[in-house]
Amino acid sequence: MRRALVLVITLLSVSFLVFMIPYITPGDPVRKILRARTGDLDLDPEAVERLRVAYGLDRPLHEQYLDWLGRALTGDLGLSFTSRADVAGMLGSALGVTATLAVAALLFALLVALPLGSIAAIRRGRPADTIITTVTQAFVAIPEYWMAPVLVLVFALRLGALPSAGWDDPRYMILPCLTLALRPMSYFTQVTRASMIDVLESPHIVAARSRGLSFGVAMVRHGVRNAILPVVTLFSVWLAGLLGGSVVVEVIFSIPGMGRLLYTAVVNSDTPVLQAAVVCIVGLTIIITTLTDVLYAVINPTVRSANVAA
């Protein structure tokens, strides 16, 4: 219950922060709307006042906020300043694209990280472990805006094997996914390794092995669940993180997702889109994090108490 309360308060404060953006930026919001729409610098003062009344921007701030919040809650997020398209619709399609991209990238990262991390754990302290650990840790130091152009240069421009930008069939997903997957792959591998080591040394695995169970059987019956749990948690944290964290990759590959939506909104001073995108990203981040926390406790209550202490 306390959780839910914190969630609501956080969301409300975020929405208020975001609502205030046009008011704390220098300049008159009405003039900014007109300028974004017409690009005109000399605005007719009468037209400005008419628009102010028409949009209700002459009312007290708290009234405007409640009105804005009420409409946002019913799904009416207004129209884009620049394209005049429905913001809710724009947000919906962008969210779908980013979610697809993020899930694909993270699944790919998992697919590589789980075996790598397990091998490193089993061969702990041997050359294989050192190589895997060092190489995957180096992934964290690779900037996406370097990886992406280099991949484009090699696979799209030189080899012509893959499209360099856009969002159409699954082939368009390969390079962006590869770029996005590097960093989570590094963390997934490290966490898999650490939790596998814990499991390998845990008494029930040692007991199972001493009962004569083979290594594989012991792991499948008693170890895998505990080993994978922390990785699953990390997966959802990254999922939340990539909702707003794939800006660079989406811009480079011209992918019509949340990140590029946010970026173009900032560049064009498209306030309604910016506000909606920020609330959406932050709201989803909080919801995913909370759900994960709850799920984690449901799946494994013992781990929960252990982690509270950490």
Q: Which stretches of the chain bind other proteins, using CB under 8 A?
A: 6, 9-10, 13-14, 18, 21, 24-25, 134, 137-138, 140-147, 149-150, 153, 157, 187, 191, 230, 233-234, 237, 241, 243-245, 247-248, 251, 259, 262-263, 265-267, 269, 271, 274, 278, 281-282, 285-286, 289, 292-293, 296, 304, 307-308, 310
State how far the Cα of 235 lies from the Cα of 242, in Å rounded to an integer: 10
Record the tokens describing residue 186, joined without a space: 């590094």
Q: How far is the CB of 210 from other proteins (least distance, A)?
A: 28
Longest dimension (CA), the chain: 88
State how far the Cα of 125 lies from the Cα of 280, in Å rounded to an integer: 44
List, as one string, the DSSP characters of 151-185: HIIIIIIIS--S-SS--SSGGGGHHHHHHHHHHHH
Q: How far is the CB of 134 from other proteins (least distance, A)?
A: 7
Q: How far is the CB of 252 from other proteins (least distance, A)?
A: 9
Which one, 13 or 214, has the nearer CB to other proteins? Answer: 13
Which one, 10 or 209, has the nearer CB to other proteins? Answer: 10
Q: How far is the CB of 53 from other proteins (least distance, A)?
A: 25
Asked if 21 and 269 count as a contact pair (C-beta separation under 8 A), the reply is: no
Asked if 236 and 288 count as a contact pair (C-beta separation under 8 A), the reply is: yes
What backbone phi and psi angles, to 5 degrees, belong to 142? -90, 115
- Identify the DSSP state of 126: S
Asked if 81 and 269 count as a contact pair (C-beta separation under 8 A), the reply is: yes
Q: How far is the CB of 274 from other proteins (least distance, A)?
A: 6
Strand partners, 34: none
Asked if 172 and 123 count as a contact pair (C-beta separation under 8 A), the reply is: no
Which one, 118 or 264, has the nearer CB to other proteins? Answer: 264
Which one, 80 or 233, has the nearer CB to other proteins? Answer: 233
Which one, 105 or 262, has the nearer CB to other proteins? Answer: 262
Which one, 151 or 208, has the nearer CB to other proteins? Answer: 151
Q: How far is the CB of 226 from other proteins (least distance, A)?
A: 14
Record the tokens describing residue 244, joined without a space: 């707003």
